[in-house]
Amino acid sequence: MKFTELGLNESLLKAVKEQGYTEPTPIQAKAIPLVIEGKDVLAAAQTGTGKTAGFTLPLLERLSQTTPVMKKKQIRVLVLTPTRELAAQVAESIATYGKYMSYRSMVIFGGVGINPQFAALKKGVDIVIATPGRLLDIANQGGIDFSAVETLVLDEADRMLDMGFIHDIKKLMAMMPKNRQTLLFSATFSREIKTLASGLLKDPVLVEVARENSTAGKISQVVHLVDKSRKRELLSQLIKAGDWKQVLVFTRTKHGANKLTKQLEEIAGIKAAAIHGNKSQGARTKALADFKAGNVRVLVATDIAARGIDIDQLPHVVNFELPNVPEDYVHRIGRTGRAGMQGEAVSLVCVDEHELLRNIEKFTKSKIEKVDIEAFRPDPSIAAEPIQNGRGGGQKRGGGQRGGGNSRNKNNNSRNRNNKSKNTDNKADKTPIEKKKRPHNPHAEKIGSYLQAKLDNMDKKPNRRR
Ligand code: AMP
């Protein structure tokens, strides 16, 4: 299949060519002709599949086909996204592919002044990419007119529900014209998503490119079992031993993200930045830009802040803490291995998280390889403790972000357990990963390649620049 066979105009094809894309990805090949035809589409597509261009290209094509007379504050296309970052990325994609077309687009999200947004809408905009909360705010104040919306896109709909946007979405949907095209993209397909979709889409065509609830194909996944108190130390060593240049690390809480970032910088001397909901938009944009530019080696993120981050060829994702919800694991590791690149997802799992790991394996219908690292083998005398705030297996989605900081790191028990470890954080980095025989772990025999290669590499280059 070629891009030229999809029904896109010359301006769009030129812009696609400039991106160096030779072939449409499967989701693009399937979705683009359907969207151009005006069909409602329900797409089960993970990030990294090229889904953004899968809807932005045909939307631009459709826009070019008619020139309706627009009234003040009316818009033609609305794209709803869960996060500001994703909104900005969709806008970037529209700007990239639409560079040879004339239309006006804008992003609308909270955390920045509302007045310039009112003003821009008044001047006239064709495409709005927005997060639900701020958009509803503007709509309630009469700042936008949805009556001419031709196409509505809900991008990463599952995440919008996770983030508690359902009420805002319902209110916004009630303002949309009935006669419109609707596209809904979601990485996972829960019952809630199906219910939402059935209320919004008319005779939708289902487009699926990856098996439901599956993890992306080109991502190698590995688990290292390690005590909670030694995770930071292991992470530093993996980064240094593997000479990882760009790694996205997930923590469960904003507090945890800040703490880890500080430790990586101050103790391990690794340039790191945190990105989460408590950071200002400016700080988040800067952290992402520094990371993309290679000025920052580690970006520590919470699930919601990282949602939709698109970094070409991101090679490493680390789950410093496993997510409470298995779907989030799929989203997290989808940050690597994008658009056919090889990616590696490493999970550092402590005794408290075994249940979460089992849930993830059940959800993804796969066993994740456990690689034993002798120097970090967990202390068997440490007993599992429940993850605080009821965030164990059966917990509701989304709670980890909205409930304010998780006090887990502060609790006495975890402090006690941390004290059990002989290594303090400071000492830890100076302890090299030991390359010893691995006699008794059944996993160890079949592992070999992954870490061994890294260890060998480290041995060969003891003075590698940190
Ligand atoms: P997405 O799933 O939309 O977040 O896209 C993932 C990545 O794939 C982005 O970095 C895109 O720039 C890239 N991409 C999109 N379409 C193609 C294509 N046809 N060929 C190669 N890469 C693509």
296/342 same-domain check = yes
Ligand 1: which of 8, 25, 90, 207 to mutate, most ligand atoms within 8 Å of CB? Answer: 25
Regarding the beta carbon of 25 and ligand 1, being less than 6 Å apart is answered: yes
pLDDT of residue 430: 40
Q: Are 295 and 270 in contact (CB under 8 A)?
A: no
Regarding the beta carbon of 310 and ligand 1, being less than 6 Å apart is answered: yes
CB atoms within 10 A of CB 122: 12
Regarding the beta carbon of 21 and ligand 1, being less than 6 Å apart is answered: yes
- Using the 8-state DSSP alphabet, how is residue 105 labeled? E
Kind and range of the H or E run holding 219: strand 219-225
Q: Looking at ligand 1, which atom is closest to the CA of residue 49?
A: 2
Distance 23 CA to ligand 1 centre (A): 11
pLDDT of residue 278: 77
Residue 340 in any domain: the answer is yes
Q: What would the pLDDT profile of 156-215 be if each residue is shown by its tens digit?
A: 998 898 788 999 999 999 999 999 999 999 887 778 888 999 999 999 999 987 543 344
Residue 465 in any domain: the answer is no
| Euclidean distance between CA atoms 168 and 137, whole angstroms | 9
Burial group, residue 20, by CB count within 10 angstroms (0-12, 13-18, 19+): exposed
CB atoms within 10 A of CB 107: 24
- Which of the listed residues 209, 243, 274 is the one where a domain comes to its end? 209
| Torsion over CA: 234, 261, 407, 326 (sign) | negative
Q: How many domains does the chain have?
A: 2
Distance 351 CA to ligand 1 centre (A): 37
Distance 391 CA to ligand 1 centre (A): 34
310/401 same-domain check = yes
- Which of the listed residues 209, 239, 271 is the one where a domain comes to its end? 209
Ligand 1: which of 2, 18, 21, 129 to mutate, most ligand atoms within 8 Å of CB? Answer: 21
Regarding the beta carbon of 48 and ligand 1, being less than 6 Å apart is answered: yes
239/301 same-domain check = yes
| Euclidean distance between CA atoms 24 and 4, whole angstroms | 10
Q: Are 322 and 347 in contact (CB under 8 A)?
A: yes
Regarding the beta carbon of 53 and ligand 1, being less than 6 Å apart is answered: yes
pLDDT of residue 311: 65
203/251 same-domain check = no
221/366 same-domain check = yes
Q: Looking at ligand 1, which atom is closest to the CA of residue 47?
A: 2
Sorted by sequence, the CB contacts under 8 Å of residue 447 that are 6+ apart come out as 369, 371, 372, 438
Regarding the beta carbon of 50 and ligand 1, being less than 6 Å apart is answered: yes
Q: In this structure, which long-range contacts are made by residues 115-118, counting pairs with CB atoms below 8 Å and at least 24 apart in sequence?
A: 117/143, 118/143
Ligand 1: which of 12, 89, 310 to mutate, most ligand atoms within 8 Å of CB? Answer: 310
Which one, of 90, 50, 79, 83, lies nearest residue 305 by Cα?
83
- φ, ψ of residue 106 to 5 degrees: the values are -150, 155
Q: What would the pLDDT profile of 226-254 be if each residue is shown by its tens digit?
A: 999 999 999 999 998 888 888 999 999 88
Q: Are 357 and 223 in contact (CB under 8 A)?
A: yes
Residue 203 in any domain: the answer is yes
286/374 same-domain check = yes
Distance 19 CA to ligand 1 centre (A): 10
Q: For the full predicted model, state whether its pTM sits above 0.75.
A: no
218/195 same-domain check = no
The residue segments making up the domain with residue 426 are 213-457
Distance 50 CA to ligand 1 centre (A): 4
188/154 same-domain check = yes
Residue 193 in any domain: the answer is yes
Report the chain (466 residues): mean pLDDT per 10 consecutive residues.
94 94 90 97 83 96 95 97 91 96 95 95 97 97 98 93 90 96 89 89 85 52 93 93 89 92 92 84 82 89 71 81 88 69 86 94 86 88 72 34 32 35 37 37 33 35 34
What is the side-by-side order of every strand in the sheet holding 205-208? 105-108, 127-130, 77-80, 151-154, 181-186, 41-44, 205-208
405: domain CATH number is 3.40.50.300
Distance 241 CA to ligand 1 centre (A): 30
Q: Looking at ligand 1, which atom is closest to the CA of residue 45?
A: 2
pLDDT of residue 337: 65
Q: Whose CA is nearest to atom 17 of ligand 1?
A: 50
Distance 49 CA to ligand 1 centre (A): 6
Query: What spatial distance separates the first Cα and last Cα of the chain, rounded to whole Å?
Result: 45
